[in-house]
Amino acid sequence: MEFKHASVLLNETIDSLNIKPDGIYVDGTLGGGGHSFEICKRLGDGGRLIGIDQDLDAIAAATERLQPYKDKVTIVHSNYQDIDSVLKGLSISGVDGIVLDLGVSSYQLDNVDRGFTYREDTPLDMRMDQTQPMTAKDIVNDYSEMELYRVIRDYGEEQFAKNIAKHIVRARLDKPIETTGELNEIIKAAIPAKLRQGTGHPSKKTFQAIRIELNHELDVLEQSLDTMIKWLNPGGRLSIITFHSLEDRIVKTIYRRNMNPCTCPPSFPVCTCGKVSMGKVVTRKPIVPSEQELADNKRAKSSKLRVFERI
């Protein structure tokens, strides 16, 4: 299957980076190379792009797509949480922009073999990095009822999390739950029929929750942003596209903390904590897709772009 993924908020994101022809840029979620391709088009001979992705299918697709710019592109199979070691390994001392396009790609969703989709019956997988041993099947079959409840409640924001966890544990007593279709039926049985009407696919939130847990998506995001901001050169920008409220909340909170890190009580006349602002939040409100983009790509619906600029 060809790696296809329409980059959401593409023009807005590229514009937000204020690309300098001789700058160094990092695409921390390389995917099919959509954002990277547009960055490379704007780079001169002294410019450089580092692409990072944990998905080998994405790396293969992006390598091919970025072939015209291969002299200024370095692609690394890794997770953006390792940006520190990646950049040090490439003897880079600072970068002029970093972009993250979070969540799951259209390719990963549409490629049935990857086991992300709840629309087909396929083995439970959901790994973004196919070299890791643990899969969604392990979570569904090995987590305790309490752990499943926590994951589905916290990462899926699913109101029926307790009942879904109970149904999963009961079903796996008979046999292991191995496919997305089997899990779908269990989730459907756990949600009252009249409450399933008009609320989208009943499995959407639970599948999202299991995917986030398996790939440590929120932990990785939370643990990486401070490091990324430190890597920016003065005037450098970090542009992040999120797709649900959990990601967006983390980005918003960490941006604000880096802009105003002072921990002194409001009553103190002068700051004594010594914490210095790292920069400013460029987007007071997040940038969202245009009506035209929403019409062209329904998966852009919940996307938000937030931008931070280093002092």
Quote the number of domains for the chain.
2
Distances (CA, A) of 204 to 119, 132, 133, 223: 10, 24, 24, 26
- Of the candidates 127, 302, 85, which has an alpha carbon nearest to the alpha carbon of residue 215? 127
Question: What one-letter code names the amino acid at 280?
Answer: K
The domain containing residue 35 runs over which residues?
10-107+217-310
Give yes or no: residues 207 and 230 share one domain.
no
Give yes or no: residues 125 and 82 share one domain.
no
Give yes or no: residues 201 and 149 share one domain.
yes
- What is the phi-psi region of residue 65: left when phi exceeds 0, alpha when psi lies from -120 to 50, beta otherwise? alpha
User: What is the tens place of the pLDDT at every residue in 94-107?
Assistant: 999 999 999 888 77
pLDDT for res 196: 81
Phi, psi of 279 (to 5 degrees): 165, -150
Which positions of the chain have pLDDT values less than 50?
1
What b/e string do you get for 37-63 counting C-beta neighbours within 10 Å, with b at 16 or more?
bbbbeebeeebbbbbbbbbebbbebbe
Last residue of a domain, one of 215, 230, 255: 215
Last residue of a domain, one of 193, 215, 237: 215
Give yes or no: residues 228 and 298 share one domain.
yes
pLDDT for res 4: 53
pLDDT for res 70: 97
CATH number at residue 59: 3.40.50.150
Give yes or no: residues 221 and 102 share one domain.
yes
Give yes or no: residues 223 and 295 share one domain.
yes
Secondary structure (DSSP) of 132-184: SS--HHHHHHHS-HHHHHHHHHHHH--TTHHHHHHHHHHHTTTS---BHHHHH
Give yes or no: residues 92 and 131 share one domain.
no
251-258 long-range contacts, CB within 8 A, separation 24+: 251/221, 251/225, 251/306, 252/306, 254/222, 254/225, 254/226, 255/225, 255/281, 255/306, 255/308, 256/281, 258/225, 258/226, 258/229, 258/308
pLDDT for res 38: 97
pLDDT for res 5: 55
Give yes or no: residues 38 and 74 share one domain.
yes
pTM of the model: 0.94
